[in-house]
Structure 1
Amino acid sequence: MEVNDISFENLPRAVAHLVSEIAEIKFLVERKEIPPIPQKRIPIDIVEACRIIGKAKPTVYTLVRKRLIPCYKNGKKIYFFEDELLEWITKGKKKTLQEIQSEAEVNFKKNCKKVVGEFNQNLQK
């Protein structure tokens, strides 16, 4: 409905139109979720990094020098982010004996099928 179409005769239609518009706006507002507030990534110093990963300062400095640990350097200071350190720790997970055994069985079965297939091909030649 156009704004210029409102007259005394069209007033009920105009009010109905406004009510439907308000209902639609209300639905959109109620449905919209509050956007998550991104957490600020605050850099931490080497002392805090040592506490998080459970290593001594010289060990952390060695890891930094060898570029094995995620870090940032600004001037003479080294900075870390806690989430990156925790991710770095989880990437170094050692496999359990069960995981190693199940992988070995899967690889053995694959190789066994491959060898049997090659053997059958050689027999057919």
Structure 2
Amino acid sequence: MKPFTFDQIPIMMNKLHDKLEHLEKLILRISITEENKNELLNVEQASKLLNLSVATIYSKVCRKEIPVNKKGKRIYFYRHKLMKWIKSGRLKTYTEMKNDIEKRSKF
């Protein structure tokens, strides 16, 4: 890094300020993500998150179709595990399937 002149100090300070703001936003986003990972939901909260009835949630738990934690008679759900479960059911597009087939045929 080249030394800068006295006249460049305001410009450099402005750049430094912008970078600090960007870092603050990244740190805040990471901390919110970490909080969400450990957030426990009860059945009602999980049903709202998934837009399913409580009865449907219970039936999915009985059939072991949904990630759940049980303590005594109560069941709990980790938000990040429910989101991962939802994403695991994503259907591939035609292009993605075609690319997968092409990759496999290269071997």
Q: Same fold (TM over 0.5)?
A: yes
Structure 2 residue runs of 5 or longer lacking an equivalent are: 1-26
Between the aligned partners of 1:87 and 1:106, the Cα distance in structure 2 is: 25
Q: Give yes or no for the alignment of 1:81 onto 2:78.
A: yes
TM-score by length of 2: 0.58
Give aligned pairs, total.
76
- Which secondary structure does the structure 1 equivalent of 2:75 belong to? strand
The structure 1 segments of at least 4 consecutive aligned residues displaced by more than 4 Å after TM superposition are none
Highest relative contact order (Cα 8 Å, sep 6+), 1 or 2? Answer: 2
1:55-74 map, 5 Å? 55-74=52-71
Partner of 1:102: 99
Partner of 1:13: none
**Rg comparison, structure with higher value:** 1
CA RMSD, 1 decimal = 2.4
Q: Give the 3 Å change call, closer, same or farther, for CA 108–81 of structure 1 in structure 2.
A: same
Between the aligned partners of 2:104 and 2:39, the Cα distance in structure 1 is: 44
Greater percentage in strand: 2
Between the aligned partners of 2:102 and 2:40, the Cα distance in structure 1 is: 44
Identity of aligned residues (%): 29
Could you tell me which of 43, 46, 53 is aligned with 1:46?
A: 43
Greater percentage in helix: 2
